[in-house]
Structure 1
Amino acid sequence: MKTLTILKTTITVLFFQHTFSQETKKETAPPQYTIENCVNHFEIEKATKTKVGYQYWFADKDFTQENTLKMSIVEPGKSTHAPHHHVEEEFFYILEGTAEFYLDGNTKTAGPNTSFYCPSNMEHGIKNVGNTDLKYLVIKKDLR
């Protein structure tokens, strides 16, 4: 009789664990992808104002499950933040303006059609060193 009670308890626990697991998966399920939500055209009215310009998310990790695509627009002489590091690797792609890239103690100045790769956990940063707005894409893969 004791074995039967233990078996019933074990089955009940497993059932609830499975049910909870399924509910959790439903909450984190990817969105339904359609042509409407997979095509995203930049509109300044939908951009978020920052202290140094604007940012516009074409796709965030909640939409793609692991990748993000953002455009940053930074005013002359400013940067979005000080050099930093994080676990995610990151690409910057310059669309307009002049950027100074910082990577692990070194800098490089570049203009449009230039990319900058930041490996995981390396200190990096980007700032506008030109006379016009700096416009660049940030592509990041979430490694969590």
Structure 2
Amino acid sequence: MGSIGTPAPAPRGFVLHKKQIDAMPLENFSNNSKRATGGWKQIFSSPDTPTDGLNLGIAHFPPKTATQESFEALHRHKQAEFYYILSGQALVKIDGVDHEVGPGAALFIPGDSEHGFWNTSESEELVFIWGFPCDGFRDVVYRFTGDKAEDAWSRKENAA
């Protein structure tokens, strides 16, 4: 809401250019390498941007090495999610089914589906666009497989 009794103004269209997105900080799961080894940038996420109804970001996961996997661990959240792979190769698991994906692949992940991914390349960063049908990333609560309920992660509580 705006001031008392008046509705908040409707979002207005705007453009973020590559230079602006490149300057955004890379966020992660509170530096918890058991949950993920890469990170993401928030492109559209209320209240940080004047947007609503759509949360959009870009993920970056380094190549795997002989001693370190590059991944996001199996997890769930109530919102549906999509990925669009820009570069790299990955194994994505959705509800127990493995999918090998590369540039140009589009994935739909239903709400509350268990999913995770692994960068399968030793030389190329995995980069993809992701999004949720909600106002902001603060609305998404990650429940990692094997974690206790009280260990659920949300940007609202744990931004790093």
Aligned to 2:56: 69
Task: Tell me, yes or no, if structure 1 residue 33 matches structure 2 residue 12.
Answer: yes
Q: Which ranges of structure 1 fall in alignment gaps of 5 or more residues?
A: 1-19
User: Could you tell me whether the CA contact under 8 Å between 1:96 and 1:135 is conserved in 2?
Assistant: yes
Aligned to 1:118: 109
Aligned to 1:23: 4
Give the TM-score normalised by the residue count of structure 2.
Answer: 0.63
Q: Aligned equivalents of 1:96 and 1:24: distance in 2?
A: 48
What SS does the aligned partner of 1:87 have?
A: coil
Task: Tell me, yes or no, if structure 1 residue 140 matches structure 2 residue 125.
Answer: no
Aligned to 2:41: 56
Task: Tell me, yes or no, if structure 1 residue 129 matches structure 2 residue 120.
Answer: yes
Q: Pairwise CA RMSD of aligned residues?
A: 2.7
What SS does the aligned partner of 1:83 have?
A: strand
What SS does the aligned partner of 2:17 have?
A: coil
User: Could you tell me whether the CA contact under 8 Å between 2:11 and 2:52 is conserved in 1?
Assistant: no
Q: Aligned equivalents of 1:24 and 1:83: distance in 2?
A: 44
Q: Aligned equivalents of 1:124 and 1:69: distance in 2?
A: 18
Based on CA coordinates, which of the two structures has the bigger radius of gyration? 1
User: Could you tell me whether the CA contact under 8 Å between 1:30 and 1:65 is conserved in 2?
Assistant: no
Q: Aligned equivalents of 2:9 and 2:118: distance in 1?
A: 34
Q: Aligned equivalents of 2:52 and 2:16: distance in 1?
A: 17
Q: Deviations over 1:76-109 (max 9, x none)?
A: 1312x31111110000000000011110111111
Q: Aligned equivalents of 2:61 and 2:5: distance in 1?
A: 39
Q: Which ranges of structure 2 fall in alignment gaps of 5 or more residues?
A: 32-36, 65-69, 140-160
- CA 1:24/1:109 → structure 2, altered by over 3 Å: closer, same or farther? farther
Q: Aligned equivalents of 1:49 and 1:139: distance in 2?
A: 15
In terms of fraction of residues, the more helix-rich structure is 1
Give the TM-score normalised by the residue count of structure 1.
Answer: 0.69
Q: Aligned equivalents of 2:86 and 2:113: distance in 1?
A: 23
Q: Aligned equivalents of 2:52 and 2:129: distance in 1?
A: 19
- CA 1:30/1:67 → structure 2, altered by over 3 Å: closer, same or farther? farther
